[in-house]
Every structure is written in C-alpha cells, then in structure tokens.
Chain A
Amino acid sequence: MEEKKTSTADILAKIRAQKAAAAAAPETPVSPPETPAPVAAPESAPIAAAAPAPAAAPGPKPTSTKDIMAAIRGGGAKPAAAPVASTPAAVTAASTAPAGTPAPSTAAAAGPKLSPQEMLQKMREAKAAGGPAAAPVAAVAKTTAPVAAPPMPAKPVAAGKAKPAAVRRGMASFATVACISAICFVLGYLFGNSLLIAVGALAWGALLSPFMAAWAALASVGGIGTLGIARFMFPNVLVEPPSKFKVGPLSDYPLNTVSNKWKDQFGIWVVHTDQYEGRNMIFALASVCTHLGCTPNWLDGEQKFKCPCHGSGFYMTGINFEGPAPRPLERMGLRIAEDGMLEVNKSVKFQEEMGQWTDTTSYVEVV
C-alpha cells in the first residue's frame, strides 16, 4: 500500500485518532486507582497523577501540540515517531499496555525516560503541593503514593526554614573572603607583587554563584576593553597640520575674490570682500558646511559657496541663504603677523550667529 505524501495536517489527524482510541479503550485506569485521598477531587487528581503522568493526563480532546507529544510519550515512551508509520492497531496496543496495568506506568515515569518538560511539570506540581493551601493534599499524596514523587530536590519546601542558616553561612564566607583578600592586598602591597593583589581582588569572586561570577567576569573584561579603547582617544603623537600658518601677503588677495589656494591643505578659504557690512576686509572661512559637514565648492560664476550634499548655499561673505544650512560658515582667526604676512589661526573659530564676527581677531581690515 503506497502512502500519499503526508502533510502536517494528516499527521496531526492521525495522531489525534490514535489518541482518541487509546483514551476510549480503558477508562478507569486513568484516574488514580487506590488513592484514599478524600480531599477536593480536582486538586488531588493531578497531584496523584503526577507520577503515572502524561499517560494518565489526557483529557477528552487534545488540542495543543504539547498534549499530543505528551500522549505519544505516555503511550510508547520511546517510539515517538513510530505512530506515524505503524498501523493503528499496534499503536493502540502500545498505548493501552501501560494503561491496563498501573504499575508499569509508574515505573516508566520513575525511570530515566523523563523529558525535561515532564520533570518541570512534576516539580511545579510538587511545589504547588508544598504551598500553604494544598499542604494536607501534599501530605496525603506523599504517604499514599511514595512512588509518585520521584527523588526531586526538595528545595522549595525547605527554603523557608533554611534561610537563617544560609545567611549565617553567607556571613561566614564573606568574612573569610574579606580576610583572604585583605591579607593578599597587604602582602601584595608590601612585596610589590601585583599578582597577589589580583588574587586578592579575584577572591571576591568566590562569594558569587557561578552564574554571577561569569557575568561579573564578562562585565569586568568588557569594562577593561572599553577603557582600552577609550585610551585611543588620547594618542601619544598627534599628526595634524599646524593650527597657525601663514597664507602670504595681503596683496595676494584682490578685492571680492575667494581664494581656493589653501582649501586642500588646510580646509579654509581666504576671502577679500567689501560686501559684509560694507567694510573692506579679509577673513578666513572654514570649508565645512554648517548643515552636515560636507565640503562646499566656491562657484565663481554664481558667486556663491554651494554644498554638493544637500544643496546649501552661502554668499561670498559666508552668510547662508539657500538650502538647509542653519547658520553661516565659520570664520577662523586671522591677523597680520610681524613680518607683514597674513596668519591664520585655526584653533579659534568665530560664529556669526553668536555675534563673534565683530571680534577684531576674526578679520583683517584693509585700508
């Protein structure tokens, strides 16, 4: 018999059919058989069933994948993939087998075949049982079905009582570590041994849980790495063009011209114009657009600086007039040096919107 290509839907349907058959065949073994627990039925049932476990759990209609997986595990433990291929009869046999005799199912549950999910579920149930509300239920469940509770770490129950002891132990270990660390520090300092100091510092790690210690280690390594990177912000040697340089005599710059001569080397234009406030002056403009820092071009035909990035435009005076630039180009310091040459000082800048262009060191008046 050739099977067609099985889709997920087919597989799910098949599993559901098998499950329904398994659930329908034996009714009684599902519920805890000889629990004397007279307590509220809905509460005791899941607790007692915790061990017979997933096999006993199935409700009438499995909806989620989890249920289906639980059904498969409860049915045949290992052959999770088998039901797909095997004939329905075999599957029902497999799944009814543990249901018929309650003992094997508990054995299976207590055995090593438990999945993490099942263990978690059990733990949760045990916890719920240990809670104040269901305390008697838990007692009953423990006494009646000792097999039901696999050897689980009983931490949650003991936690409440153990606290003071833990605190005391914590204090003791804290004191120990503090002593060791202090001794290491002192000795390390006395003998100038940095390794000892490091040990003293690391000793504190013993206080932490492995989880915390790992994070602390990561954080400290990351912190040291960041500091190391920050060190690059302060290089030992700075290779930059000098911030003060001579740009030739006044006569090199005729009236109403912009000199591109120093743009490549120093990033400045030298402008000689009488268009700003009607005064005849020379000043140096930084060739950095005040919008986003591109380098504008001086267009002689249009008599303007134009930025190629977003279209900002500036007059010869440096005042912005078109595009998105929010403020005028910045001036650099300029003066006539002792030898009569113009000297630019790039370490200072003058912004028009701050009213700094009135500063006499921002321009040289031509008379």
Chain B
Amino acid sequence: MTHLTHNPDLTSSVIYGLGWVYLLMFLMNAYWTRRSYALDGNCRLSLGGILGKGEQIPVAAFWAVYAGMLLMIAITHLTGWKNPQQFSLQMPEFLKEPINRASNPVAFFIGSTTIYVLMIVLRKWWTTPTAGWILLNLSILFLALSVTDYDFRQIVGKPDNVPIVAMLYIVGFFTWLYFKKSVDNDERKAAGRPLFEQENNEKVLTWPDLVYSELICMVLVTAVLIAWGIVLQAPLEEPASAAKTPNPSKAPWYFLGLQEMLVYFDPWMAGVVLPSVILVGLMAVPYIDFNKAGNGYYTFNERKFAVSTFLFGFLPLWVAMIVLGTFLRGPNWNFFSPYEFWDVHKLELLNNINLSELFWIKGLGRPLPVVPPGATFAQQAPIILLREWLGLVGVAFYLVVLPNIMAATVFKKFYVKMGFLRYMVLANLMLMMMSLPIKMVLRWAVNLKYIVAIPEWFFNI
C-alpha cells in the first residue's frame, strides 16, 4: 500500500523536526535520571537468574539507559534526515494495523470511559511523579512515532488542530495535578495530619505578588501568541458559498463536542435544549451542592459524587468528543481511524430507524399508522400519538418516573438531604447528561435514530 501512495510517510523536514523532539526528550530524561538518582532508591535486578541472586542497582540506571537510547535516536534523526527513503525509524505497520482495525466510535467511547474509570480507581498510583513522568513520555513517544504516518500527520499537524493537541496535554496535566493534590490531602486526613493547605499557608499580597505574576503571564502569553501567529499560518479556505459546504465541515474546535452530539440528536435538542441545560446546570451547581467539604482545599474522598459527575461530563463527554470530532471524523462525517486515509468515498452503512418503526414494523409486523394527507391538527394528533406512544411513554418514564425511583433507591440520602425541588433539579440534570451516552449506545447497538420522531411538529427526541 505504501508504494501506491503519492505522499511518502517520511519527508526530510519531518525527520529533522523529530530529531529535535527526541533531543528535547533526551534532555528531559537526563534531568529525570539525575532526579531519580537523588530521590529513588535501589532495586534488585536479577534478569531472570542470569545475575544469580541479583544485584543492587539504582533505579536511575533504567532512566539513564532510556535517555541514552533517546540520544542515539535523536542523533540518527539529526544526521540521517537528508535521505528519507532510506530512513526506517517509523511507526511500524504491525502497530498501525491493530489500532486501525480496533478503532470505531464504540471502541473510542468505551475506551475513553474506561480511562476515566481507571483514572479514578488508580488515582493513588498514577499521581506519583514517576507514573506521571512515564505517562508523559509514552504520550510524546506515541505522538512522535505517529507523526511518521502520512495520514496521521495530515490531521494532527493541521494548524487548526495543533492547539487541540496542546489542550490535551494541559487537560491531562491539570487533571493529574488535581488528583495528586487530593490524594495527598486524603492521605493526610486519614492519618490525622493537617491538610496541605493549612500546613503551607501560602497567603500572599495582591500587590506585588499577584500583580507581578499576572504581568509575567501577560508578557509570556503575548510572546507565545505572536510566535504562534508567525509560525502557524491561519488555515484560510476558499471564499464561502451558500451552495458548497466543505467536506468535512467542522465547527470551531471547542464546539466539536456539540457537533458530535448533533449526530445523535435532533438539532433542536443538541443545538438549543441541551447546551442551555449544560449552561443553566453549571450555574445551578452551587445551589444543588449541599456538601460543605472541600471548601478551600483539594480533596476527592470528601467529594466523590461531585468530582466524578463533573469529570464524567467533562472528560468522556466533552473533551473526548472534541478529540473524536477533530481527529477521527472525516469526509461525510464518517469515522476514520488515526492512520486511515480520509477517503471521500468511504462507505459506511448507517441505515437508521426510529423507535416507532422498530415497534410497529419489526415488532408487530404492521405498517406505521399513517397520517392522511391534508389532515388537520386535530385529526393528526391521535394518529401521531398512537404511532409514537412507546417513545413518549419511555421519555416520560425516563424524566418523570425514574427520578422518583432513584430517590427511593440509589439517591435516597441525597433526597433526604436536599428536599424535593433541589433533588429533582439534580436528578433531571443527571439524566439529561446521561441521555447523550444512552443515545450513542442505542445508535450503535440498534441503529436507533429517534426515540420520539414527530417530524410533522419538528419534535424529535
């Protein structure tokens, strides 16, 4: 396949640039080796019995070996960049193939949700500095290796997509920081020690401490923006035309989560109702929250519900959707795996059906109740309601009955503490949030388009 493509995977400039990346990684890991030598202890290495009982060697030795390898790779890149045809350090096919085969929206969503769960369950482990460092190294290595693939580079290297890569690292870092600080505080609480924030009271004056920091930040941000504006040109396209929509047509990156949501919902729902619910819901959080703990310090154990709920809405349902929309949605809004060519003619069978069709045609083997042409509203209504009764009942159950069931079972404590009104707001916000993954799963599992489909009244759920 690679011989047929017009565009080679590797070009001189890519190899040269990667050389600098690896050199930077070498420097980072050289520093880390030094740090590890000072802080980490020794470990026993026996190499499966080759060294007999084993020998005590510093952990830093592994980092030293790793850093040395990075240096050699960097040198290879920086000296051999002139001949890309001969260059063989690139993403191996045996890694690309399984990733390509495994990637589809279902796997992506399950994967991101799994990472979210692991993140919370393993928070004690992955917030250690060494684990964080390993994760950072792995992510950079993955990115650097993947850039040697032409299709990957075309998408990730696009000027509009560069900030999204940066955003992913920033989101990752701050999530890591939050969990690190809260794990620390939770351990302090458990051991009866004072909280970190109490022990290290870092109160400083607005002037000069804060104002100086702000000034420095301002200067730095300005410098970065100027450099960015010069290095990465604005991705301008042809003049806009009402008759021609670019393919794929993508919203600004911060709205790609919404655009992905629109694939599963009616525009009225995903474009107006749900975004409003998100905004109003976030505003309502202070009034819903009855948990006084966690005020002024980091904690997870004392705010498990609040943090998990927010992170679920933010990471798998917002950030991951942005990633999906940016990197994995190609022409005709089809799903493309990271190393796949964006083929305009890729065929994906998505014959979607409504719940009413599922019920009447597949379930009962009868045609849908049809509204006679030219019927008045009064004649229409009973037929349409009969056609869609299952979906309407389902939605009513979901939004009206389910909160009550939850109040009697899983959210019993919440209900008692919050009172009826506050609890209902919370329950409905939760259910609205969960409606997105539910709808996605239904779409993938049974090709369900709408639970309630009344195009006559522009009402689809």
Chain A: residues with CB nearer than 8 A to chain B? 7-9, 263-265, 267, 287, 291-292, 294-297, 299, 301-302, 306-311, 313, 321-324, 326-327, 353-356, 358
Contacts and interface: CB of A to CB of B under 8 A. Distances in A.
Nearest to B206: A8
Interface in B395-449: 449
B267 to A, nearest CB: 5
Given A295-B243, A295-B244, A324 B373 contact: no
Contacts of B372: 355
Interface residues of B, number: 42
A307 B350 CA distance: 13
Contacts of A353: 455-456
B262 A7 contact: no
A40 to B, nearest CB: 37
A270 B376 CA distance: 31
A355 B271 CA distance: 27
Nearest to A324: B263
Contact of B350 (A265, A291, A297, A313): A313
B350 A358 contact: no
A313 B374 CA distance: 27
29 contacts: A7-B204, A7-B205, A8-B204, A264-B241, A267-B243, A294-B245, A294-B249, A295-B244, A295-B245, A297-B245, A297-B332, A299-B345, A301-B345, A308-B331, A309-B248, A309-B333, A311-B263, A311-B333, A322-B350, A322-B351, A322-B352, A323-B333, A324-B266, A326-B449, A326-B453, A327-B455, A354-B373, A355-B372, A358-B373
Given A7-B203, A9-B201, A354 B259 contact: no
A358 B247 CA distance: 33
B156 to A, nearest CB: 21
Contacts of A291: 262, 267
Contacts of A8: 203-205
B332 A324 contact: no
Nearest to A353: B455
Contacts of A302: 345, 347
Interface string B248-291: 11000000000100111111000100000000000000000000
A295 B244 CA distance: 6
Given A287-B243, A301-B345, A310 B263 contact: yes
B242 A295 contact: yes
A214 B263 CA distance: 49
A74 to B, nearest CB: 24
A302 B455 CA distance: 26
Contacts of A327: 455
A322 B447 CA distance: 9
Contacts of B345: 299, 301-302
Given A9-B203, A321-B351, A324-B449, A309 B245 contact: yes
B246 interface: yes
* Cβ-closest 3 pairs across A and B: A355-B373, A311-B333, A308-B247
B245 A354 contact: no
Contacts of B265: 324
A323 B263 contact: yes
Contacts of A263: 243
B374 A355 contact: yes
